[in-house]
Amino acid sequence: MQHSKQFQDIFADPKAYARRWKEKTGGKVIGTLCSYAPEELILAGGALGFRIVGGSGSISKADAHLQSYSCSLVRGALEDALNEQLDFLGGAIFPHTCDSIQRLSDIWRMNAETGFHLDVVLPVKLNTQSARNYMAAVMRKARTDLEAVLDKIITDDDLQKAIGTYNGIRSAMKRLYTLRRDRPGTIDGSDVHAIVRASMVMDRNDFLNSLTQVVESLEQQPEPESKTGKRIFFSGGVCNLPDVYSVIESAGGTVVGDDLCTGFRGLTGLIDIGGDPMDAIADRYARRAICPAKHSGITRRGDDLVRLAKETRAQGVIFLFLKFCDPHAFDYPYLKSMLDAEGIPSLLLELEEQIPSEGQFRTRCEAFMEML
């Protein structure tokens, strides 16, 4: 699709984009490891948040620090950091998430040369008042810490502007996802994926402008030939594999929604405006779609998944996890049984760095589509 060319370009080489951005603006690029990174603060501080979702090649240096039973995201990210692939970073921010990222932060801090290192130790529990208070306190601390490393005061005004941008992005992404749900032929899965990935790297104000244009033009397009593919919902974690979409599509499926970590999960929830900006930011973090490494009741993810699968009228759900990802692997059996109870079939695809064997992957997808 022509509109998404610039997103595809960034997605193809996000590092080159970040380098150019840095050269052009003289600003700092900050690597982030999770969708709970305090993006609004980074933007308000005039820096560029750069989400790290894995490595770019084979692993050698990281093997000296990480056992083979850590996920490919953690290993790949460290490999890039040790290999000077991330030398454009002015710093890195580690929100607290899973056990593997928790230790990656320590190992990174001790070994990588990527500028400053900030840990944002968020609460794991999100559904109590004391957790919300702590969330807000942690965000305030992150603001002060960022001010120190960026040598810049982050004013409430800066914050309000950043909130405006992020609310804009999240609203526009919601429209894009609605389009994809209601008119699945309008945009390819891999284009949506490229847009989501660009949202984690691109200058956020530029991104908002481009995204808005794309969404508006898509909305005005005449209804496409209705796609006959089986409606598929993706559930799971980090997925930096565009091929997944083409495999699904050539197997006769159309992706109509997702709750992926590198998908819609981080883009949910708007920030209230008008009140104290820090409280409002913290509040959204507690309300947005939850990551399995966090707790907000014992069936929250299952309830959300069933609701989304129904809303998107999904005929089947495909779970996509990285091998060795504990939080997702723990949730899988109950999520599957909640879907079973609703008569929604599902398929689990555990991914390594690369699709393990394209052939096998394709066969499984095709078999699943046929079953639907």
Partner 1 sequence: MNNPDKPIDPEREKRKIKSVKRMKDIMTHYYIDAKTTDQTGKKVAWITSGGPVEPLIAMDVIPVYPENHGAMIGAAKMGVDLCEKAEEMGYSSDLCSYARADIACATVNGGPIGGLPRPDMLVCCNNICGTVLKWYEVQARYFKVPLFILDTPFNHTEYTKEAYAYVRAQLNEYIAFLETHCRKQFDFDRLAEVGRLSMAGQRLWQQVLDTAVHRPAPMSAFDAFFHLALIVTLRGTRTVVDYYTELLDEMKTRVATGIAVVPGEKYRLLWDNLPVWFRTRWLSDKFAAHAACLVADTYTSSWCGTLKYLDENDFFGSMAEGYSRVYINIGTDQMAGMVMDMVDKYSADGLVIHSNRSCKPYSLGQYDIQRIVQEKRGIPSLVIEADMTDARNFSESQIDTRIDAFMEVLKS
In angstroms, what is the minimal distance from the CB of 44 to partner 1?
A: 20
What strand order describes the sheet that includes 29-32? 48-51, 29-32, 89-95, 116-120
The site string for ligand SF4 over 276-315 (x = CB under 6 A, - otherwise) reads: -----------------x----------------------
By CB under 8 A, residue 153 contacts partner 1 = no
Q: Which amino acid is at 308?
A: L
By CB under 8 A, residue 5 contacts partner 1 = no
By CB under 8 A, residue 330 contacts partner 1 = yes
> Which residue is at the shortest CB distance from ligand SF4?
325
Q: What angle (nearest 5°) sits at the alpha carbon of residue 249, between those of residues 246 and 255? A: 100
User: What gap in Å lies between CA 61 and CA 63, rounded to an integer?
Assistant: 5
Q: Which does 215 bind (CB under 5 to 8 A by kind): partner 1, ligand SF4, none?
A: none
Q: What angle (nearest 5°) sits at the alpha carbon of residue 180, between those of residues 323 and 371? A: 55
By CB under 8 A, residue 243 contacts partner 1 = no
Query: Are the C-beta atoms of residues 281 and 127 closer than 8 Å to each other?
Result: no
The site string for ligand SF4 over 65-94 (x = CB under 6 A, - otherwise) reads: ------x-xx--------------------
Judged by CB under 8 A, the residue of 18, 33, 48, 66 near partner 1 is 66
User: What gap in Å lies between CA 88 and CA 109, rounded to an integer?
Assistant: 16
C-alpha to C-alpha distances, 4 to 1, 100, 158, 196, 207, nearest whole angstrom = 6, 34, 29, 11, 11
Q: What is the CA radius of gyration of the chain?
A: 20
| Candidates 114-122, 155-163, 221-229, 230-238; binding stretch for partner 1 (CB under 8 A) | 114-122
- Beta strands 316-322 and 346-351, pairing class: parallel
Q: Which does 1 bind (CB under 5 to 8 A by kind): ligand SF4, partner 1, none?
A: none
By CB under 8 A, residue 65 contacts partner 1 = yes
Nearer to partner 1, 111 or 178 (CB): 111
In angstroms, what is the minimal distance from the CB of 302 to partner 1?
A: 9
Interface positions, 310-349, toward ligand SF4 (CB under 6 A)? 322, 325-328
User: What gap in Å lies between CA 156 and CA 302, rounded to an integer?
Assistant: 37
Query: Are the C-beta atoms of residues 255 and 189 closer than 8 Å to each other?
Result: yes
Residues in binding contact with ligand SF4, number by CB under 6 A = 15
Query: Which residue intervals of the chain are DSSP H helices?
Result: 5-12, 14-25, 39-44, 72-82, 99-111, 129-150, 156-182, 189-199, 204-220, 243-250, 277-287, 300-311, 326-341, 358-371
Nearer to partner 1, 204 or 294 (CB): 294
- For residue 77, count other CB atoms closer than 10 A to its CB: 27
Q: Which does 299 bind (CB under 5 to 8 A by kind): ligand SF4, partner 1, none?
A: partner 1
Three-state DSSP string of 233-269: EEEECCCCCCHHHHHHHHCCEEEEEECCCCCCHHHCC
Query: Are the C-beta atoms of residues 149 and 189 closer than 8 Å to each other?
Result: no
In angstroms, what is the minimal distance from the CB of 99 to ligand SF4?
A: 7
Nearer to partner 1, 18 or 107 (CB): 107
By CB under 6 A, residue 238 contacts ligand SF4 = yes
Residue ranges binding ligand SF4 (CB under 6 A): 71, 73-74, 97-98, 100-101, 237-238, 293, 322, 325-328
Residue ranges binding partner 1 (CB under 8 A): 64-67, 69-70, 74, 94, 96, 98-100, 102-107, 109-111, 119, 121-125, 128, 130-131, 133-134, 137-138, 141, 292-293, 295, 298-299, 323-324, 326-327, 329-334, 336, 350
